[in-house]
Amino acid sequence: MISRPTKKILPPACAVLAASLLTALPAPAASAECPAPDSRATVRFLDLDSGVANRAAAGGCTINDLVDDERRWSDHGHFVRHVREVADGLRRTGVIDGKEQSALVDAAARSGIGRPGGPAPYEVIFDGSPESFAAWEHVGGRGFALTGDGSMVTTAEPAGDGLGLLHFREGRFADFSLRLQFRDDRPGEGRSNSGVFVRYPGVDPEAFPECRTSEPAWVAVNCGHEIQINDSPEEPGNDPRKTGSVYGFADLDLAAARPTGKGVWNDLEIRVVGQHYTVLRNGEVVNEFDNVPGIPFPGRPDDPGTSGRQYSAGGVGVQNHDPDSVIAFRNIRVRDLPAGAR
């Protein structure tokens, strides 16, 4: 795993709301909505499910946004006290009842967050700053640009026919959870096509001849797995593999992808443990795949198939698929998962 200073992940509006709850004051009317509220059905403390319904709290935030379980806490006691204060504020404002308040505090105590040997926190690998953007390397065709709203977006430049890959150069990940937010910003009526690549060995074709390519971006295509982003209608001419597909090996139709409209931020989580892949969209599991050897890529007889994708650790990158697609990415973070986690 990478080693770098950890930044707090709680969105600014949620931080304001959390502070207001702790002082028993109503949330300021001027607070903006959470940029992508955590819409999972129940409140979770990393891998522990509290069982408490994840309700809207105020300011567009949910309880999951307020518990701030993803950051690195100095010790377990600080985390439990934080959750107790948030739960007290939520009860005072009528969001939860007394039983749910107790359940949240109990789950926080059982979570192990902040303890030595406890669950690893998320490490931010793209936070919208120029410094974090500089940690990513562009290879291939079309590229990416940093925007003023904390995201990076696919662009038609540099001009070229090939797909582009933005590759995180500072880390290889073994068993991990990768979380990010994406948004389809394509103008007009069409939908965008993109993807997130994981578990590829690198971007140097000469170093990985088994990937059968001379194009750096295609090392990830041929020897990693692409988690598809594509909410296009199921019409002729559109890619039939929709968001959440493990491209070519565990493909989803549009209904299974649980699409949203354009201009909507979506949360995508990719969990890889051993050779088991789990994909969650907006907190819901949409796909699972066991990457066993011997599965060919349909329609590509020269592709290495799953037998050539058995790496135990690898890179992370995002795709610029075509000049008409416009996809924005933000808040990319990753954490180690223990062996046997799902």
**pLDDT on residue 17:** 58
Q: If you average pLDDT over residues 158-163, what whole number do you get?
A: 74
Closest CA to 279 of 198, 171, 173: 198
Percent of all residues in the chain with a pLDDT value above 90, rounded to a whole number: 78
Q: Encoding tokens for residue 184?
A: 């389809």
Task: Kindly indicate the confidence band of residue 4, based on its pLDDT and cuts at 50, 70 and 90.
Answer: very low
Q: Using the predicted structure, report yes or no on whether residue 305 has a pLDDT greater than 70.
A: yes
pTM greater than 0.75: yes
Q: How far apart are CA 124 and CA 158, in angstroms?
A: 27
Q: Using the predicted structure, report yes or no on whether residue 18 has a pLDDT greater than 80.
A: no
192-208 confidence digits (pLDDT tens): 999 999 999 999 999 99
**In the beta sheet, which residues pair with residue 316?**
198
Q: How far apart are CA 22 and CA 127, in angstroms?
A: 26
**pLDDT on residue 185:** 97
Q: What is the rounded average pLDDT for all residues in the chain?
A: 90
**pLDDT on residue 30:** 33
Q: Using the predicted structure, report yes or no on whether residue 69 has a pLDDT greater than 80.
A: yes
**pLDDT on residue 130:** 96
Percent of all residues in the chain with a pLDDT value above 70, rounded to a whole number: 88
**pLDDT on residue 32:** 46
Q: Residue 161 has what DSSP assignment?
A: S
Q: Using the predicted structure, report yes or no on whether residue 112 has a pLDDT greater than 90.
A: yes
The CA distances from residue 64 to 16, 38, 43, 47, 150, in Å, are 15, 6, 5, 13, 21
Q: Give strand ranges (E) for the chain.
A: 42-45, 48-53, 56-58, 61-62, 123-126, 136-140, 144-146, 151-154, 164-168, 176-184, 193-200, 225-230, 266-273, 276-281, 284-290, 315-320, 327-336
**pLDDT on residue 28:** 37
**pLDDT on residue 194:** 98
Higher pLDDT, 37 or 190: 190
Higher pLDDT, 224 or 17: 224
Q: Using the predicted structure, report yes or no on whether residue 5 has a pLDDT greater than 60.
A: no
261-299 confidence digits (pLDDT tens): 999 999 999 999 999 999 999 889 999 999 999 999 999
Q: How far apart are CA 144 and CA 126, in angstroms?
A: 13
Q: Which distant-in-sequence residues (6+ apart) come within 8 Å of 51 by Cβ?
A: 42, 103, 107
The CA distances from residue 293 to 202, 212, 219, 243, 290, in Å, are 20, 17, 18, 24, 9
Task: Kindly indicate the confidence band of residue 14, based on its pLDDT and cuts at 50, 70 and 90.
Answer: low
Closest CA to 320 of 160, 125, 151: 160
238-255 confidence digits (pLDDT tens): 999 999 999 999 999 999
Q: If you average pLDDT over residues 67-79, what whole number do you get?
A: 94
Cis ω before 158 (30° cut-off from 0): yes
Q: Which distant-in-sequence residues (6+ apart) come within 8 Å of 82 by Cβ?
A: 67, 68, 73
Biggest CA–CA distance in the chain, Å, is 63
**Whether the Cβ atoms of residue 85 and residue 93 lie closer than 8 Å to each other:** no
**In the beta sheet, which residues pair with residue 176?**
272, 336
**pLDDT on residue 25:** 41
Half-sphere CA count of 98, side-chain side, radius 13 A: 0
Kindly report the backbone phi and psi dihedral angles of residue 292, in degrees, each rounded to the nearest multiple of 5, phi listed first.
Answer: -80, 150
Task: Kindly indicate the confidence band of residue 38, based on its pLDDT and cuts at 50, 70 and 90.
Answer: confident
Q: Using the predicted structure, report yes or no on whether residue 7 has a pLDDT greater than 90.
A: no
Q: Residue 207 has what DSSP assignment?
A: G
Closest CA to 119 of 70, 52, 49: 70
**pLDDT on residue 338:** 85
